[in-house]
Amino acid sequence: MGRLLNLLKQFRGDERGVFGIIFALLAVVLIALSGAVVDFVSVEQARNRAQVALDAATLALQKDIFLTPLNAAAIQSKAQALVTTQIGDARITATLNAPVINLTTGSLYLSAHLTVPTMFVTLVGVNQMEANVASEATRGSMNIEVAVAVDITGSMAQMIPVSDGSAQQSKVAALKIALGELIDIVVKDAQTPTYSKMAIVPYSMAVNVGSTYAPSIRGAVTAPTAITNVTWAASTAKTITGATTANPVVITANSHGFIDGDRVFINSATGMAQLNNQIYTVAGATTNKFQLQGINGTSYGSYSGNAGRVTKCLVAACELVVTSAGHGLAAGANAYISGVVGTNSSSMKTYSAPSWPSDYIRFDNNPAFDNASYNWVNNNTNGEGDYRFLVWKIGAVAPNTFVLPGTSRATKDFGTYSSGGTVACVTAGCEYYLYQNHNSNSSSWRRQQISTCVTERTTNAFTDASAATTPLGRNYPTAPNPCLTNTVVPLTSVKTTLHATAEALVAGGSTAGHTGVAWAWYMVSPNFNGPWPPASQPAAAATPNVLKAVVLMTDGEFNSSYCNGVISQSSTSGSGDTNNQINCDAPNGSSYHQTEELCKAMKAKNIRVYTVGFDVVDSQSARDLMANCATEPSMAYEATTGEGLSDVFADIGKNLAYLRITQ
């Protein structure tokens, strides 16, 4: 210890100064080395902040690589701003390099060079320290299946201003643009290593599944059967050469071929005009003569000439008998006949005021129609929209024939059948459907033809049960509110098909919004198991890494619901002419109610639901429905302009691109 004290005394007393200089130099180095640790920590902190910022920027901007046209400079500029803001230190410089983009793999690679000023090592000439950071975002390993239900009801034809106020466009025109952009964002050109598919469901008064899919989705339809003959006569007419004024009258007609009990019709007789246009029963038949049973001709005039004709009738009342192989109709059933040629025009004559049976379903009892030159076998209109009668009430039937009651040859000459024609049943499931509207009077009947549109089903109504086991509802539309022309497109990655569908959208009809919601679900549901081609089948429920979503877009109130395939009387304003609505309420409830139930069920199966209200009518119910249907509040959108709709669809498209960060 004493030696150390002596050394310190010598150091204090040394006046040469050399050691002081050495100590000062060593002190600078020692301070710089110690401060380097601080500077290094500062650089690492800056690099970490920059890495986090760059990761966030890459994740946020990866979706932009699929925008058309691709703008790499804009991506670099946005990334630069995000990183600079996130670092939050003006002394630190982060310079973004040009992004590296690979559209095939869906990747965005960003890198940056950091410059951090030093506080301590600057003493030894090191004024700054540098570092590099990089981040890559690639399209995630999720496969995407999305169905877009688009409202193309009549209100979509309304004009709305373009945002700059310089022009106007229809809402459906704006929809075409926005939907086209959504297609390009969601459906990638490269379908490996993951795929992205979209289905489009146009809807208005219903959903049109097209002629290819309709039979297997809403069930087969009982089609009309061909008519091959319409006649009342069982044989050709025989010439009457004589008639007695006896009791009973005896008719001479060589080789007439009649037997006792046959029913025959006489016309064109001269001299004994009382015989004309009457039906008689044959009695006492011989080869060339027969009696008119029960006819006393003692007061008749004398028969003259050979103009009279006698014809055997097919049935007792000499009514028309229609031949249609395998028609399947029952006696008393209603039937619709069309396309018959020949039983009309100038050959038709009325002998007494017609008295059509009271159970004929007619709109009009105007006698002027009965004397006009119409084909009375066909259930037609008069060309001005006034129905004569909508269907026939079928009489006696055989496997290949049936009688048209009330068409006795004694009352009217229906002419001679030429060719063609069909007969159809008119109950639910037939090609044509006869129903009554709410008026329930003589003019309340309507006859409508089935379409390829489909409506709600009452069994498994709010499930995605297969149509093979639970068919969808049929649709019998009316002329003022017809089946929409745009058909559904099942899942596909063929962008040309999707774009063609978007471009072809046409506005029209009322709003059965629940049908659009249901079909958006069905398109991504493996349980529904639609009759689609293999490439359009959705992935099975247990398939890993598959994102299923639907986008529901509407511009108005859901006003149309169905009963037996016809718009129900419980539908609300805007659902079409009430005179064409069927006289029953919708069994499943209103379109709003059905939509709510479908949305609940769909979300319960982990379907992501985005909703878009586009220039929605002033209805809180409509807004609430859109909000409640969405998976979460942030997935419920509203837009009032075409540009706004494009922005909404673009945002949804970006959200649908699942991303994965790799470093």
**pLDDT tens column, 610-634:** 999 999 876 777 888 999 999 999 9
Indicate if the pLDDT at residue 196 is higher than 70. Answer: yes
Model confidence band, residue 83 (pLDDT cutoffs 50, 70, 90): confident
- List pLDDT tens digits, range 103-153: 777 788 999 988 877 665 565 555 666 888 898 887 656 889 999 999 999
Claim to verify: residue 420 and residue 510 sit in the same structural domain: no
Q: Could you give the percent of the chain with pLDDT greater than 90?
A: 59
Domain encompassing residue 297: 234-308
Model confidence band, residue 373 (pLDDT cutoffs 50, 70, 90): very low
- List pLDDT tens digits, range 499-551: 999 999 999 999 999 999 999 999 999 999 999 999 999 999 889 889 999 99
- pLDDT score recorded for residue 7: 52
Claim to verify: residue 547 and residue 646 sit in the same structural domain: yes
Q: What's the rounded Cα separation, in Å, for the pair 641 and 170? A: 10
- Write down the mean pLDDT value for the chain: 85
Please give the backbone phi and psi of residue 107, each rounded to the nearest 5 degrees, phi first.
-110, 150
- What CATH number did the domain enclosing 473 receive? 3.40.50.410
Indicate if the pLDDT at residue 581 is higher than 50. Answer: yes
Claim to verify: residue 591 and residue 481 sit in the same structural domain: yes
Indicate if the pLDDT at residue 81 is higher than 50. Answer: yes
Give me the residue label for tokens 């079928």. Answer: 394
- pLDDT score recorded for residue 199: 98
The domain boundary, picked from 105, 120, 138, lies at 138
- pLDDT score recorded for residue 161: 86
- Cβ-based burial of 212 (10 A; exposed 0-12, middle 13-18, buried ≥19): exposed
Percent composition of the chain: helix, strand, coil (DSSP 3-state, to 5): 30, 25, 45
Q: Cα 547 to the chain's mean position, in Å? A: 23
Please give the backbone phi and psi of residue 452, each rounded to the nearest 5 degrees, phi first.
-90, 5
Give me the residue label for tokens 């643009």. Answer: 177
- pLDDT score recorded for residue 13: 58
| Domain-located, residue 480 | yes
| Domain-located, residue 300 | yes
- pLDDT score recorded for residue 384: 34
- List pLDDT tens digits, range 400-412: 999 988 888 988 8
Q: Which of 34-43, 65-74, 390-399, 627-636 has the lowest mean pLDDT?
A: 34-43
| Domain-located, residue 287 | yes
Which candidate, 563, 606, 601, places its Cα nearest to that of 585? Answer: 563
Q: What's the rounded Cα separation, in Å, for the pair 492 and 480? A: 33
Claim to verify: residue 532 and residue 652 sit in the same structural domain: yes
Compute and round to an integer the Cα radius of gyration of the chain: 43
Claim to verify: residue 469 and residue 606 sit in the same structural domain: yes
Q: What's the rounded Cα separation, in Å, for the pair 408 and 232? A: 8
Q: What's the rounded Cα separation, in Å, for the pair 546 and 150? A: 23
The domain boundary, picked from 138, 171, 189, lies at 138
| Domain-located, residue 248 | yes
Paired tokens of 13: 């007393």
HEC readout, 507-555: CCCCCCHHHHHHHHHHHHCCCCCCCCCHHHCCCCCCCCCEEEEEEEEEC
- pLDDT score recorded for residue 449: 93
- pLDDT score recorded for residue 661: 31
Indicate if the pLDDT at residue 282 is higher than 50. Answer: yes
Name the DSSP class of 500: H
- pLDDT score recorded for residue 32: 47
Arithmetic mean of pLDDT, 56-70: 82
Please give the backbone phi and psi of residue 551, each rounded to the nearest 5 degrees, phi first.
-120, 120
Indicate if the pLDDT at residue 605 is higher than 70. Answer: yes
**Quick check: helix, strand or coil at residue 371?**
coil
- List pLDDT tens digits, range 228-276: 999 999 999 999 999 999 999 999 999 999 999 999 999 999 999 999 9
Model confidence band, residue 11 (pLDDT cutoffs 50, 70, 90): low
How many Cα atoms occupy the beta-carbon half-sphere of 213 within 13 Å? Answer: 19
Claim to verify: residue 102 and residue 119 sit in the same structural domain: yes
- pLDDT score recorded for residue 457: 97
Q: What's the rounded Cα separation, in Å, for the pair 41 and 38? A: 5
Which candidate, 480, 626, 506, places its Cα nearest to that of 567? Answer: 480
Which residue did the predictor score with more confidence, 354 or 220? 220
Indicate if the pLDDT at residue 464 is higher than 50. Answer: yes
Indicate if the pLDDT at residue 347 is higher than 60. Answer: no
| Domain-located, residue 8 | no
The number of folded domains in the chain is 4
- pLDDT score recorded for residue 10: 59
Claim to verify: residue 499 and residue 467 sit in the same structural domain: yes
Q: What's the rounded Cα separation, in Å, for the pair 499 and 185? A: 12
- pLDDT score recorded for residue 386: 39
Number of other residues whose CB lies within 10 A of the CB of residue 9: 10
Q: What's the rounded Cα separation, in Å, for the pair 462 and 511? A: 18
Q: Could you give the percent of the chain with pLDDT greater than 70?
A: 83
Indicate if the pLDDT at residue 418 is higher than 60. Answer: yes
- Predicted TM-score (pTM) of this structure: 0.75
Number of other residues whose CB lies within 10 A of the CB of residue 111: 18
One-letter amino acid at 506 equals V
| Domain-located, residue 252 | yes
Residues paired with 139 in a beta bridge: 659
Claim to verify: residue 43 and residue 123 sit in the same structural domain: yes
Which candidate, 539, 490, 654, 498, places its Cα nearest to that of 194? Answer: 539
The domain boundary, picked from 449, 465, 484, lies at 449
Contact indicator for 658, 144 with CB cutoff of 8 Å: yes
Model confidence band, residue 652 (pLDDT cutoffs 50, 70, 90): very high
- pLDDT score recorded for residue 660: 31
Number of other residues whose CB lies within 10 A of the CB of residue 19: 10
Claim to verify: residue 151 and residue 92 sit in the same structural domain: no
- pLDDT score recorded for residue 417: 93
| Domain-located, residue 208 | yes
- Torsion sign (Cα): 644, 646, 647, 652: positive
- pLDDT score recorded for residue 391: 82
Claim to verify: residue 396 and residue 475 sit in the same structural domain: no
- Cβ-based burial of 551 (10 A; exposed 0-12, middle 13-18, buried ≥19): buried
Claim to verify: residue 476 and residue 601 sit in the same structural domain: yes
